[in-house]
Amino acid sequence: MRQVYEAVRASVEKRRGEMITLLEKIVNIDSGTTNIPGVEAVCEILKREMEAVGMETRVIPSEGAGPVLVGEWCGGAKRPLLFIGHMDTVFEDGEAERNPFRIDENGLVHGPGVLDMKGGLVVALSAIRALRDIGYTDRPVKCIFVGDEEKLHMFSRTKQIMISELAGAEAAFNFEVGYQHDGLVVGRKGGGIVDVTVHGVPAHSGLAPEKGRSAVAEMCYKVLELEASRDIERGKLINCGMVSGGIGENTIPGEAKISIGIRFPSQAIRDEILEDIRAATERVHIEGTKAEMNVRMMMESMDTTAGVMELFEHIQKAALECGYGEVHPFTVGGVSDSGAVVANGVPAVCGMGLKGEGCHTKDEYALVDSLVDRAVLAACAAYAL
C-alpha cells in the first residue's frame, strides 16, 4: 500500500501548477448564487476538466438556479463513492475584480470562494486524476457539484436532483471548507424556515369592533408559545424572526404572518420542532381565527451516525498510512449538503476541502499547500475504501 500512496502523491505533486491554474480560473469568475451565468461558466470549466480525466458528464438544469454538474468515472461492480460540492459563492458581482485570485508571500491563497468552496472542487478533481494515473479501477467515483448551496436550494429543484443522484452510493466525501486544526466534520446542524399564516376577521376598529377577530393578537399568542418551546441546551432553536400583519391602526387585522428560523442537531429534534409549530398553529386562542403552516425550506442535519463514524475512521487510518498525519472528528453548527446525503442513507464526511479561514468574508483565504495534501488524502482514502 505504501507504494500506491507514494504514487498518488507523486501524481498530485506533478500537477500542482495545473491545480493552481484551474483554481485561479474559477475563483476569478463571479458566481454568486443568483448569478446563474457565472455559475454556468464555472460549471463549463469543471465539465471540461472532468472530460479531460475521462469522466462521463451531465449538466442538469435546476429550474431556478445554476445547474447541477454530474461526472462519473470508472466502472467496476462496487457501489460508487460520491465526491460532492458546490460551485456558487456568497459574493456579489464585481468581487472577483475587487479581490482577485492571488497567492501571498506566506503561501495563502486569496479570492472570493477560494475556500468556500472552489478550492475543494479542484481537490476533488485532482484526487480523481491521481486515481486514474495509478490505474485504479475498483470503484466508480461520482461527482455531484451543485449551483445554489449558499441559498439552500430554496428556488430550485437542486435538492431533489441531488437526492436522486446519490441513490445507491457507498459513501460520500464533501469537499467543503477544511479546518487548519485538521478536524473532519462528522456532524452538522440542520436548519429551515417555516411560515405560519394567521387568518382573523377584519373589521373597522371604531365602527364595528365587535365583528373583528385580530390575527395579530392571535399571532402574539403563537409567538410566545413557540419561543417558550425552544431548548438551547439541546440545540433546539426556534426563532420567530419576522412578524407582520395588519393594514392600519383603524382596522382590526385580518391576517398576520410569522416567519420562523429553526436549527437542530438531529432529525429527531427537527421532528420535535415541527410538531411544536404544528401544535401552535392548530391551537386557537381567539375564537374565529385559524392558521396554517408551510415549511418553506429545510436542510437536514448531518447526524453523527454509526456509518458516518465508520467512514471517518477509514479516512483517519488512510491519513496516517499515506503520510498526511492525524485527523480528528468534530461537529459544527453550519448546514451543508452532507445533511441531505446522510439523511438519505449515505454515510458522509464533510470538510475535505482546502484548509483556511474567513469564509463568507472578503478576508477569506486558503493554504496553498493544502491543495496537494488534501488531494492526496482524498485519493488514498478512496483507493482503500
CATH number at residue 31: 3.40.630.10
How many angstroms separate the CA atoms of 334 and 189, rounded? 6
pLDDT of residue 77: 82
Shared domain for 126 and 180, answered yes or no, is yes
Banded pLDDT at 211 (limits 50, 70, 90): very high
pLDDT for 333 equals: 87
- Name the domain boundary from 277, 299, 321: 299
pTM (2 d.p.): 0.91
Q: Name the pLDDT band for 275 (thresholds 50, 70, 90).
A: very high
Residue corresponding to grid cell 387585522: 253
> Mean pLDDT throughout 19-32?
98
Of 242, 273, 299, at which residue does a domain stop? Answer: 299
Number of domains in the chain: 2
What pLDDT does 336 receive? Answer: 95
45 and 179, same domain (yes or no): yes
> Quick one: 206 exposed, middle or buried, by C-beta within 10 A (0-12, 13-18, 19+)?
exposed
Q: What is the pLDDT of residue 75?
A: 76
Pair (185, 44) in one structural domain: yes
Per-residue pLDDT band for 385 (boundaries 50, 70, 90) equals very high
291 shares a domain with 322: no
User: Which tens digits make up the pLDDT trace of 282-330?
Assistant: 999 999 999 999 999 999 999 999 999 999 999 999 999 999 999 999 9
Considering the domain architecture, whether residues 346 and 372 belong to the same structural domain is answered as: yes
Residue 39, pLDDT > 80, answer yes
* CATH, residue 244: 3.30.70.360
pLDDT confidence bin for 72, thresholds 50/70/90 = very high
Looking at the fold, whether 266 and 202 belong to one and the same domain comes out as yes
List, for residues 341-382, the tens digit of each pLDDT value.
999 999 999 999 999 999 999 999 999 999 999 999 999 999
| Same-domain check for residues 246 and 375 | no
Secondary element (H or E) of residue 23: helix 16-27
Residue 76 confidence (pLDDT) above 80: no
Q: Give pLDDT, residue 95.
A: 97
Q: 60-64, 212-216, 228-232, 333-337: which range is least confident on average?
A: 333-337
Burial label for 293, CB within 10 Å (0-12, 13-18, 19+), is middle
Q: Residues 151, 76: one domain? A: yes
Identity of the amino acid at 149 = E
Residues 86 and 101 in one domain: yes
* Domain match, 174 and 270 both: no
Residue 41's domain spans which residues?
2-189+302-384
Mean pLDDT of the chain: 97
Tell which residue, 304, 241, 239, 297, has the closest CA to residue 273: 239
State residue 334's pLDDT score. Answer: 86
Q: pLDDT at position 1, please?
A: 83
Residues of the chain by 3-state class (helix, strand, coil), percent to 5: 40, 25, 35
Q: Which of 299, 315, 338 is the last residue of a domain?
A: 299
Same domain, 293 and 310: no
**Residue that the C-alpha cell 446522510 belongs to:** 342
Answer yes or no: do 332 and 233 share one domain.
Answer: no
